Amino acid sequence: MTDQHQAPGAPLLTVRDLTKTFYLPGGETMTAVDRVSFDLQRGQTLGIVGESGSGKSTLARLILRLHESTGGSVRFDGTDVLAAEPEALRALRARMQIVFQDPFSSLLPHYSAIDNVSEPLRLHKRGDKKQRRERARELLDLVGINPVMVDRYPHEFSGGQQQRIAIARALALEPDLLICDEPTSSLDVSIQAQILNLLKRLQEQLGLSMLFISHNLAVVEHLATHVAVMYRGRVIEMAPTQAIFTTAAHGYTRRLLSAVLPARSGAMETIAFWERPPTPLGSADGVDPVPGVMLNEVAPGHFVAMDGTV
């Protein structure tokens, strides 16, 4: 094993200049993730927000090496993830798990709930069949799936229940890091709240470190200790959660915040700085600042891309 456990205080996950360039037919290139760097300390949750196409989902897949990156480095608990040999990578993956956006698509349709949750244990040869089932049952109980339902198949559960099963499966190997890629975006409001409460409870009970990817700022605020804002593949602002929501410095972050439509009265006024009506000309999608690469530290732990004052 190449695991060299680091001194306490060292970050659990260190990402440096992580880059992914896609080569499109016709010789064009598209840089989906562009020199992204951050540290994630144990027990922290980094929320990654951005709109579609900002590269936030690709970033998650690069960290897990579900996609191969074009440049940069990822160190997980001192081990170089990108250089890991297949066996070492398998061992690493056991310690970082992912929950996807679409729970139905991410569960094995021909496995029952309990078999889905046992599967990672089987793959990593933990215990015998009976012990694995026992453990899976405990995990399903932990996420609130009724024990009488564990032998049912994914399609027999509601979307929210499917996501609970997917979370149980991700927790089976007792990972240090849980990556959540828009885990509530496909769910109804009332179910979304159930899942968020569950994740919050797990965070506290298990001391999980999380990477939480979402386009929903309120969701990120609810769960994250730190927030990174991505725009066209780059992190343009990164700060402790409180700072992002009170003293956002980059124009794009502020724009994102001001576009949120709160349901409750009172909330609307606090972030009402929608300074630009629909753009009549030029980019109809209304995004303009081209962020710089260098991040400036404007306050302790609060980084903003160089051009970031609009």
Q: Which of residues 171-210 bind other proteins (CB under 8 A)?
A: 173, 188-194, 196-198, 200-201
Which stretch of DSSP H or E encloses residue 296?
A: strand 295-299
Indicate the residue among 17 and 22 with the shorter CB distance to other proteins: 22
Residue 263 touches other proteins, criterion: CB under 8 A: yes
- What 3-state DSSP class applies to 129? helix
- E strands, 8-83, in order: 13-23, 29-40, 45-49, 71-76, 79-80
- Applying CB under 8 A, among 18, 74, 107, 248 the residue interacting with other proteins is 107
CB of 84 to other proteins, least distance (A): 12
Residue 110 touches other proteins, criterion: CB under 8 A: yes
CB of 122 to other proteins, least distance (A): 9
Q: Quick one: DSSP state of residue 10?
A: S
Indicate the residue among 271 and 296 with the shorter CB distance to other proteins: 271
Residue 169 touches other proteins, criterion: CB under 8 A: yes
Residue 247 touches other proteins, criterion: CB under 8 A: no
Indicate the residue among 14 and 54 with the shorter CB distance to other proteins: 54
| Contacts (CB under 8 A) with other proteins, residues 33-92 | 51-52, 61, 64, 66, 86, 90-91
- How many whole angstroms separate alpha carbon 67 and alpha carbon 20? 9
Q: Quick one: DSSP state of residue 70?
A: S
| Contacts (CB under 8 A) with other proteins, residues 118-137 | 119-120, 123-124
Residue 1 touches other proteins, criterion: CB under 8 A: no
- Nearest CA to 18 out of 208, 230, 179 is that of 230
Residue 148 touches other proteins, criterion: CB under 8 A: yes
CB of 215 to other proteins, least distance (A): 7
- Nearest CA to 288 out of 307, 261, 260 is that of 307
- Our CA angle for 6, 7, 13, nearest 5°, is 50
Give the sheet arrangement for strand 177-181, strand by strand.
96-99, 177-181, 209-214, 45-49, 226-231, 234-240, 302-305, 295-299
- Applying CB under 8 A, among 36, 136, 145, 235 the residue interacting with other proteins is 145
- How many whole angstroms separate alpha carbon 124 and alpha carbon 87? 11
- Our CA angle for 275, 280, 284, nearest 5°, is 90
Residue 30 touches other proteins, criterion: CB under 8 A: no
| Contacts (CB under 8 A) with other proteins, residues 267-296 | 267, 270-271, 274, 277-282, 284-287
- Applying CB under 8 A, among 30, 260, 299, 306 the residue interacting with other proteins is 260
